[in-house]
Amino acid sequence: MIEDMIVISDYRGKGVGRILLNQAIEWAKRNGALRHQLLADKTNRDALEFYDKLGWEKTRMICLRKFDN
């Protein structure tokens, strides 16, 4: 599960995000991962376009959270 991958704006569009994501996936594979998932805010168009270009597909899953008081 990948969450909150952020590339500083000065480095966007230079392949840094692609390299980070590919390295994370390769590490996960070496450590037995069979599936890769990531979370992105549904209003973050730049991120969603980036992931789409890399071949990531949207699923029907939703993210839930609970805050303990």
Q: What is the pLDDT of residue 53?
A: 95
On whether residue 69 sits in a domain, the answer given is: no
- Average pLDDT, integer, range 46-57: 95
Long-range contacts at 61-64 (CB < 8 A, ≥ 24 apart): 63/39
On whether residue 60 sits in a domain, the answer given is: no
Range of the domain at 45: 2-53
pTM, full prediction: 0.83
pLDDT tens-digit map of 24-47: 999 999 999 999 999 999 999 999
Q: What is the pLDDT of residue 25?
A: 95
pLDDT band at 69 (very low <50, low <70, confident <90, very high): confident
On whether residue 62 sits in a domain, the answer given is: no
On whether residue 26 sits in a domain, the answer given is: yes
Query: Which has the closest alpha carbon to 2: 34, 39, 27?
Result: 39
On whether residue 45 sits in a domain, the answer given is: yes
Domain count along the chain? 1
Q: What would you measure as the largest C-alpha separation in the chain, in angstroms? A: 42
